[in-house]
Amino acid sequence: MRELLPAAVRRFGASGRRALSDWWRRRLGRWAVAGALSDDRGVTSIARYACPILNPAFQRHVYENKMHNLALVQSRLEGVTLRPGELFSFWRLVGPPDAAHGFQVASNFIGGKVTFAEGGGICQLTSALYNAALFAGLDVLERHAHSIDAYGANRYVPLGRDATVVFGYKDLQFRNPTAVPMTLHIRIHADSVEAAFDAPERGFDDVQLEVESLSPDGLHTRTRRQRGGRWELVSEDRYALPVS
């Protein structure tokens, strides 16, 4: 039934549902917005993380589309500054990932399978961004793990450290709890994507991440972070194997 609705109506409904969800969870602070690039003088990289861009044989026909989608996301996130107390939302900045907004068809995970959809291929960027945010000491408000371990030993990020997004349903959100502004930079290469935060100084000096396997097959994980001298639970995730 949902597929019978015009795309514009579905996008409007997804945006409204997300706004209501943020209000219900009391995420009512100032949201970071795209704008003019900040002055990089006197700042240094305080956190960075890179993910390889996978290009398995069954996805090679959409590789250029994936790179196009990554570049489009980069253009909407590059230079965004997260000031003290501000909140970051991936989808508020990127917008709907459909053809009407410039996105192309690439690989995606739907229903436990690797398939293809408009806006696909961007989770390698969101996973790099998520890890950079963790190392920068940001408060993670919302993050979703993938439902499946699609690539096994060839995965582009360790289980427990990935981040997927679905417009209107699953966002990547965090807050800057420090007293320093942090500016996001995205770099895309032929075989990797990197997210980095620059700031005048570090908000935390001792950030460490630890992923513990809770099952013999490694598909149940617990991720913890040390920040400000204290260990905290980040997430506990369960993954399935892809549906054949």
Tell me: the pLDDT tens digits for 40-63? 677 899 999 999 998 777 778 889
By residue count, the chain amounts to: 244
Angle at 184 between CA 48 and CA 109, to 5 degrees: 75
Token pair for residue 56? 């398995």
Secondary structure of residue 178 in the 3-state scheme: coil
Tell me the per-residue pLDDT of 71-128, one tens digit each, with 9 for 90 and over. Answer: 999 999 999 999 999 999 999 999 999 999 999 999 888 877 778 899 999 999 999 9
Q: At what angle do helices 123-136 and 63-77 cross, to 10 degrees?
A: 40
- Write down the domain spans for the chain: 2-204
State pTM to two decimals. Answer: 0.90
Q: How far apart are CA 182 and CA 16, in angstroms?
A: 29
- List, in order, residues 6 or more apart from 154 with CB less than 8 Å away: 54, 56
Confidence (pLDDT) at 229 = 93
For residue 120 the two structure tokens come to 């696909």
Percentage of residues of the chain with pLDDT beyond 90: 71
Phi, psi of 160 (to 5 degrees): 90, -10
For residue 56, the tally of other CB atoms under 10 A from its CB is: 12
Of 173, 172, 178, nearest in space to 28 by CA: 173
DSSP 8-state assignment for residue 121? T
